[in-house]
A = this chain, B = another copy of it.
Amino acid sequence: MIIVMKDEQTAQAVVTQAKSRQLNHVYRFKNRVGFAEIKTRADLSFINQADVVEMIAEHPAAMQVSRTFHPNDTVIQTAHSQIGGDNFNLIAGPDAIESADHVLTMGKFAQAAGATILRGGSYKPRTNPYSFQGLGEQGLKWHRAAADALGMDMMTEIMSPADVDLVGQYTDIFQVGTRNMQNFALLKAVGKQAKPVLLKRGMSATVDEWLSAAEYIASEGNTQIILMERGIRSFDQKYLRNTMDVSVIPVLRELTHLPILADPSHAAGVAEHVTATGLAAVAAGAQGLMIEIHDQPTKAWVDGKQALTPEQMINLFVKAQAIHDIVR
């Protein structure tokens, strides 16, 4: 249940009253108060009806992340980026951190192409347990050093609640991967941090499941959440690793105030198709792109066949920016 009050003051008063009545999960955005656990008006009879503009029983699966509760676009401010709203963000970097030099070189290319966020994995979710699993803390250090040297934000994947403190000492943005979209312990753990969280969509997650996963993070107090579409499971595994679900982007723009970015590298699975896939997402309304780059894709430690070269990245980013200017 969402209650639209006549102003922020009366809204805050409702929150205060609700807490004194031991109601849980009560949130406020400007003059709106959201009761995540309450669905009937009777439970809210303590509210002065004269101050109420509207009572909204229906909202999408997850309350705090819905536009019904929070009509304006969320804009997330980091040291070097503004994410969401009319901004357009570029994130690039190697799939895996390989060395101090390599991540710095990749960062320079990324920055020159317009990226403000340097991505790279030190903890890698590999399908095969015997594959390289990332450099761990050593990778985080090199990654941090490169981001600092360049004046970029650092973003890296977190795979376990136990790693939150360590990774949090280095990264600016936590990335939660596809396989962990409904790893609720992890979502709660990053929900307790004061840093933005980028939440990738699960392989075949519905909109409601995805928004509810975001709500897990918000329910712990962290509302700096970025959604990332990365392609859904396809029935044609011969030619398509995943299908970039552009159709979900305008749907999400309507339902949620959170920024929605796209990852064409994983959606396409092969470098040849990353550009077309990425531009499609931007045309559909994505507020930014994340891509994997490598100066020598065939020598990349992980997923080299989907990495763009720096030149390919520049081509993609120039076109992406031009398309964003058309559609925003």
Contacts and interface: CB of A to CB of B under 8 A. Distances in A.
A127 B216 CA distance: 9
B272 A216 contact: no
A208 interface: yes
A117 to B, nearest CB: 22
Contacts of A185: 159-160, 162-163
B130 A37 contact: yes
A46 to B, nearest CB: 20
Contacts of A288: none
A81 B283 CA distance: 26
A58 interface: no
Contacts of A236: 206-207, 237, 248
A273 interface: yes
Contacts of A159: 184-185
Contacts of A276: 246, 249-250, 283-285, 327
Contacts of A126: 184
A180 interface: yes
Interface stretch (A143-151, A226-234, A298-306): A226-234
Contact of A247 (B127, B238, B243, B319): B243
Contacts of A215: 128-129
Given A25-B130, A235-B206, A238-B206, A273 B244 contact: no
A128 B251 contact: no
Interface string A238-272: 11101111111111001100000000000110001
Contact of A243 (B62, B243, B285): B243
Interface string A107-126: 00000000000000000011
A66 interface: no
A204 interface: yes
A216 B129 contact: yes
B128 A212 contact: yes
A284 to B, nearest CB: 4
A254 B273 CA distance: 10
Nearest to A124: B184
Contact of A212 (B129, B205, B239): B129
Contacts of A239: 206-207, 248, 251, 255
Nearest to A216: B129
Given A179-B182, A183-B183, A279-B327, A242 B250 contact: no
Given A183-B183, A231-B247, 16 more contacts: A25-B130, A36-B130, A62-B129, A162-B162, A163-B185, A179-B181, A207-B236, A233-B235, A237-B238, A240-B247, A240-B251, A243-B243, A246-B277, A279-B283, A280-B280, A283-B323
Interface of A: 24-25, 36-37, 61-62, 125-130, 159-163, 179-186, 202-209, 212, 215-216, 219, 231-240, 242-251, 254-255, 267-268, 272-273, 276-277, 279-285, 319, 322-323, 326-327
